[in-house]
Amino acid sequence: MHNDQTLGEYLQSQGVSRRGFLKFCSATASLMALPPSAFAQVAEALATARRPSVVWLSFQECTGCTESLTRSHAPTVESLIFDAISLDYHHTLQAAAGEGAEAARMAAMEENSGEYLLVVDGSIPLGNPAYSTIAGVSNLDMLQESAANAAAIIAVGTCAAFGGIPHANPNPTGAVSVSEIIKDKPIINVSGCPPIPVVITGVLAHYLTFGTIPELDALGRPAAFFGQNIHDRCYRRPFYERGQFAHTFDDEGARKGWCLYELGCKGPTTYNACATLKWNEGTSFPIGSGHGCLGCSEPDFWDKGSFYTPISAGLWGSREALLGAAAAGAAIGVGAAMAARARKKKSQDAEEAQTT
Amino acid sequence: MSSLDDIAVKVEAATGNVTPLLHEIRHALKRVVDGQEGTTIDLQSLPLAPGEQERIESVLGAGEVRAELDALGPTVIQETSYPGVWLVTHRNTEHEVLARFIEVTRIPELLKSQQADIESGISRLATELATADGASFLPQESQAGG
């Protein structure tokens, strides 16, 4: 696709009929979690959308976020959206290396100054610049340099959004999130370890379609995908309401698909779209496969105690006390929220104590 | 040695969303009959337990019209046994489901010939007529002078 072509012109030049374009817009609207009624707006905006430049930086990360995206189940829409952006720098995916790669980044930033999208995965180490460098440049310097003239930043993955696993206690590299460094640019946090691929693409599609960033929640995440918690959208929720829980991973409750709350599921305190968008071609998600949610899209998820301890156990002292109260499912819902807040406060206090 | 099939797993889960969805469809149908706008329901946005989507499709059944669109992968547009209720399934070129909608309308938008495609067709036909000589459109026997 040429830079001066609109997406509509590009698709037409590829032999895509208007029906094909409408189908693409339908799938894209669904991808962006927009109501189907917004489909006409999407079609109108996409037809005239122009190709934004994207610079993708990878810092302290495991490449899981890029793996998630490139193994997405929707190659047609994905590839069209990727055709519709100009991915000018991504050191894992691009063919160029060394000075050639860095020259491409500098050229893209210069030619699209003030207009390019900066995507970041991975956290940034502040402990010592040499902990993580690219082409001899520290992550901190590269982030600040690349962010200076960006239109907006998408922090992909929990590491970029909240520090993630590198930030976990004792945080040996002094890892921080993008938003702890950059204060003067719009930042969209697409958290998750890894994030759901269609959420990454959905945010790109939103920018491509409307030229703006989507509505965000209090943690800077797109509200369309992170507006509700896993628990409220979980198909096992009716069992929770009735107090029917699996007690082990192979008991009768587990075999009947009952609620995994007592096995440590973090669904009630985790905001993400896994319960509806799902993974692997929409096949399933952790709870659907019999394992509780780990809460990977929330800040400090690695430091919130065992993945297999109920979320309120730490607050109420013993698992037995929790189980006694579990019979009243709705009451626990309130307790779980209180527990989450208390544990978050406890974790913040512990962190502050450690850093002072 | 036991296999996975030997483990008795019987999922009892149900979100309770199937019946409300069917009521939503009923209300949407009434709006169509009253001359108001149609409704599109994105099935991906609803939490559904294993088997519930199949239950919805089973209740709706298959009606008289089924159309297939081949654009960026196949799309099947199936009228259900309830006239005015259509199940639209978009797949990509690898036949994976991209999106699935229930459209409550007299005819889904995708089935209509689109303005831009019609205009393009007019242009192509005009070019065809301008470049071909009159004999091109006669039966072959006539062209041979028989």
Q: Hey, are the CB atoms on B10 and A288 less than 8 Å from each other?
A: no
Q: For the whole model, what pTM was predicted? A: 0.78
* Residue contact B10–A255, C-beta within 8 A: yes
Residue B68 to chain A, least CA–CA distance (Å): 12
CA dihedral A245, A249, A251, A256 (to 10 degrees): 60
List pLDDT tens digits, range B44-67: 878 888 888 899 999 999 999 999
Model pLDDT for residues B82-136, shown as the tens digit of each residue: 999 999 998 877 787 878 899 999 999 888 888 878 988 999 999 988 887 666 6
- Enumerate residue ranges in chain A where pLDDT < 70: 1-4, 71-84, 314-356
Domains, chain A:
51-226 (3.40.50.700), 230-355 (4.10.480.10)
DSSP string, B7-56: S--------S-HHHHHHHHHHHHHHHHTT---EEEEGGGS---TTHHHHH
Q: Is B16 on the interface with A (CB under 8 A)?
A: yes
Q: Which of A16, A76, A255 sits opposite B98 (nearest CB)?
A: A76
Mutate one of A71, A235, A280 to test the B interface: name it (highest B CB count within 10 A).
A235
Query: What integer pLDDT is reported at residue A329 of this predicted model?
Result: 44
Kindly state whether A10 is in contact with chain B, defined as any CB-CB distance less than 8 angstroms.
no
Domain ranges of chain B: 14-115
- Quick one: average pLDDT of B12-18? 77
pLDDT of residue A204: 84
Query: Which residues from chain B sit within 8 angstroms of residue A257, using beta carbons?
Result: 11-13, 49-50
SS3 A4: coil
Q: Confirm whether the ipTM is greater than 0.85.
A: no
Spell out which residues of chain A touch residue B99, defining contact as CB-CB under 8 Å. Answer: 26-27, 30-31
- What pLDDT score does A4 carry? 65
> How do A133-134 and A137-138 pair as beta strands?
antiparallel
DSSP code for A284: B
| pLDDT in the model for residue B13 | 66
A38 to chain B, any CB pair closer than 8 A? The answer is no
Q: Distance between terminal CA atoms of chain B?
A: 80
Predicted local confidence at residue B97, as pLDDT: 81
CA distance A149 to A116: 8
Which CATH architecture group holds B14-115? 2-Layer Sandwich (3.30)
B2 interface with A at CB cutoff 8 Å: no
- Which pLDDT belongs to residue A328? 44
